[in-house]
Structure 1
């Protein structure tokens, strides 16, 4: 873990022409949490280790950690250290997973899908566990941005089970929705999902995609989606721009 954080130090700037150093460090640590490189309950490096990694003062590190504690992303336990916070709200959505492509179509919106990133990779530990993949099993990571009239309406990041869905990596997701592609490649219908809604700070990476301020509060939806027969096929995280709400969502038809 220490190496993972140390590799990020090259992204720090002097702080004189951009955000203060403690906010830059908070951004870097926040992205480790958002990307699930640090799953819930992970103990992060100590203040002393972070000071050495980033070559900054202890006060700067403490300000960065406090910002993430105040956001609810980290929890500090006296005498034990600082840990990634566990999710506070979770519920199953029964047999009605959300297909945002279908929802936008039903609302008559002319949207475009931009594939920002697409690669076959070994998923983070938490994702692999959620998809019931063995260590080293491949997954397909896709980051897509959907826009309406050139304005972002959502950013979706997904990890998909390639073992249960061969051929998925060859799909053109600018033309085909993930839900449709999964059902075509697997030969089975999507049947259910588990959802979790959270409020987060956009952060540097997602604010650039959603065209908002880095400190803006945004709504994030996580879905863990099942095929018929109970096979977990996809873990997705959907980010919405500030001010957007989930209304008029159309369920995937059966």
Structure 2
């Protein structure tokens, strides 16, 4: 620690710990030193150490467990929402990870009111419903419940464990903009099993309608997201 620096000591310590986490020196779920141990190792006051840990908690790099200690948080897939449409695969790769998908179900269904409204299809139309669990470095992050108009039936010929957006782009369909809504829901028994979380755990519910370059709906998707492994930042 440089005590002559203009940067506060707590921030220097936080950045030092963050670097250890990012570099892999400190691994996810690894128990960290206590405030007293940090204080002795870095020759800092416990107040300074506490501020550094609080900063890292706020940033999502560490978690406190009451009566147990402070632990390195699970790696989060970090996404910035701006004016670009990126697929889960692209976001995972940009984060230095590997994306994959576990196919849960594929079926044709008759569109209900919500799907009709969002996809702009006629009442009674059939739509393709594909449910997948999306993984980042092998860890389940979200359940995607996707609805596609019948014009997207070519997806049935594709490898659904990969990126559907790459399939679209290869066919000249460019996802260009979207409407997004956010809410909170709670994991059912089956959802908890798929996401490796506890039943009734709070999940982020995101609903997207994505449009192509011709303003035509490409898909309507409901995403049930484990916020412990995913972070969204909105850029405006």
Kept in 1: contact 2:103–2:133 (CA 8 A): yes
2:87 to 92, 99, 112: 99
C-alpha distance in 1 between matches for 2:134 and 2:161: 9
C-alpha distance in 2 between matches for 1:198 and 1:150: 26
1:183 to 161, 169, 184: 169
Equivalent position of 1:14 in the other structure = none
Deviation at 1:124, TM superposition (A): 2.4
Equivalent position of 1:169 in the other structure = 156
C-alpha distance in 2 between matches for 1:170 and 1:125: 28
2:133 to 123, 145, 153: 145
Equivalent position of 1:223 in the other structure = 208
**Structure 2: gaps of 5 or more residues:** 1-80
Kept in 2: contact 1:194–1:225 (CA 8 A): yes
C-alpha distance in 2 between matches for 1:196 and 1:124: 19
User: Using a 3 Å threshold, how does the CA distance of structure 1 residues 129 and 180 change in structure 2: closer, same or farther?
Assistant: same
Deviations along 1:120-166, one digit per CA (max 9) or x if unpaired, are 22232211221000122222111111224542122111001222x35
C-alpha distance in 1 between matches for 2:83 and 2:214: 13
Based on CA coordinates, which of the two structures has the bigger radius of gyration? 2
Q: TM-score, normalised by structure 2?
A: 0.59
Deviation at 1:103, TM superposition (A): 0.2
Equivalent position of 1:128 in the other structure = 116
Name which of structure 1's ranges 95-104 and 214-223 shifts more when overlaid on structure 2: 95-104
Kept in 2: contact 1:212–1:242 (CA 8 A): no
Equivalent position of 2:199 in the other structure = 214
Whether 1:235 aligns to 2:224 is no
Deviation at 1:112, TM superposition (A): 2.3
Deviation at 1:210, TM superposition (A): 0.8
Deviation at 1:248, TM superposition (A): 7.3
Equivalent position of 2:41 in the other structure = none
C-alpha distance in 1 between matches for 2:82 and 2:227: 27
C-alpha distance in 1 between matches for 2:233 and 2:93: 11
Kept in 1: contact 2:141–2:230 (CA 8 A): no
The number of aligned residues is 155
Give 1 or 2: higher strand fraction. 2
Equivalent position of 2:62 in the other structure = none
> Equivalent residue of 2:176, what SS?
strand
Q: TM-score, normalised by structure 1?
A: 0.55
